[in-house]
Structure 1
C-alpha cells in the first residue's frame, strides 16, 4: 500500500496557527501547573476528593466481584 503524498505547509500557514505573544511576556502557565498549585493550596479538599475517589473505585470493584460470583456460580 502506498501512502498519499503529504501536502507541504508553508511558513505563512504555520505562523497563522501560532497565537502571537509579546517578546517580553512570559507564557501563560499550563493547566497542569495551575492544577498542582491549586492542589497544594487546598490540601484538605484534595485529600478528601482523593479518598472519595479511592473508596468509590474500591466499592465498584467489590460490587462487580460480588455480582460476578453471585450470577456465575
Structure 2
C-alpha cells in the first residue's frame, strides 16, 4: 500500500519550474530602437512634432537675424 518516493518530479512541479525560467535571453531593446518603433507606429504625430520643431527653429533663427540687423545697423 505504501508507494516508494518518486525520483521524477510531479507534472505540476515541472510546469511551475519551466514557466518561471526566461525563454528569451536577448537583452531588452534600446531606447533608440523603441523610439524609432514608436515613430513608425505613430507617423502622423511624429511628422506633426517634427514640423513644429522645424518651424520653431526657423522662427528663432529668423528672429535672431532680424534683431542682429536691427541693432547693428
Same fold (TM over 0.5): yes
Quote the Cα distance in structure 2 between the aligned partners of 1:43 and 1:62.
28
State the TM-score, normalizing by the size of structure 2: 0.67
Q: Superposition RMSD on alpha carbons, in Å?
A: 1.6
Shift of 1:47: 0.1
Note the residue ranges of structure 2 that are not aligned, 5 or more in a row: 1-21
More helix by share: 2
Quote the Cα distance in structure 2 between the aligned partners of 1:52 and 1:29.
28
Larger Rg: 2
What aligned pairs does 1:1-73 form with structure 2 within 5 A after superposition?
A: 24-73=24-73
Structure 1 runs, 4 residues or longer, greater than 3 Å off: none
